[in-house]
Amino acid sequence: MKGSLDEALKRRLKIMIIEECEKEEVTPDDVADDVQLFSDASGLELDSLDALQIIMGLQIQFGIRLEDSKAFRRHVTTINELADFIQPH
């Protein structure tokens, strides 16, 4: 299944992001699937250190290796995109 259609995967991703970035006041339901995670609109207020924490979380929990945090922030900007990146088909 394409990642963006896999609700369970998307929920796991949101939980991972909330944990890695210590955003305890946020629930997975607060994070929209199509909002740019690193924009003001997401309400998450994430910075470059958060991007690195998320990359580590992807590596540990999803076995995904990403070399470049800037490219990551440019290309993988929403939960849907992230889910498709992990699970393209």
Contact between 82 and 13 under an 8 Å Cβ cutoff? The reply is yes
Among 6, 11, 12, 23, binds another protein (CB under 8 A): 23
Minimum distance of another protein from residue 52's CB (angstroms): 4
- Rounded Cα gap, residues 86 and 88, in angstroms: 6
Single out the residue of 1, 49, 74, 75 in contact with another protein (rule: CB under 8 A).
49
Name the nearest CA neighbour of 1 among 89, 82, 84.
89
Q: Which stretch binds another protein (CB under 8 A): 4-12, 32-40, 62-70, 80-88?
A: 62-70
